[in-house]
Amino acid sequence: MILIDTNIVIGCFRGNEAILSELLKNDLSSIGISSVTICEMYSGMRKTEKRKTIELLRKFSKFLISENISKKTESLCLEYFQKGLALPDALIAATALENNLQLFTLNKKDFDFIEGIKFYKPSQKII
């Protein structure tokens, strides 16, 4: 299963053909998003985008923040605070790690120092 980062959802929302094509190569039921990503999307949407945003986000499986994810997030924040790990990224990474998911992101540098993180490798270059 794949966990998509917020930047992938934004690309999907904006109609990035490479991202859409890559996601469609997978069964949509095998693609998930963190509740953190949902909140990030809601906080960045315009009033006119509300319906479209909700419709897009409903297409993916949702991963809620569990007690284990919270504990893993705390651990990641403590271990990687000097690397500048942002709280939303720590929550997304913890979700991927706790659920053994591959993370599909355009910002690997935000996560690549985290031990155990597995990245989804798209079949084409995504820009």
Q: What is the DSSP string of 50-79?
A: HHHHHHHHTTSEEE---HHHHHHHHHHHHH
Cα separation, 36 vs 53, in Å, equals 14
Mean per-residue pLDDT, 108-120: 97
Domain boundaries along the sequence of the chain: 2-119
122: confidence class by pLDDT, cuts 50, 70, 90 = very high
Asked whether the beta carbons of 34 and 41 are under 8 A apart, the reply is no
Per-residue confidence (pLDDT) for residue 66, from 0 to 100: 97
CATH architecture of the domain 2-119 equals: 3-Layer(aba) Sandwich (3.40)
Question: Does position 127 have pLDDT exceeding 80, yes or no?
Answer: no
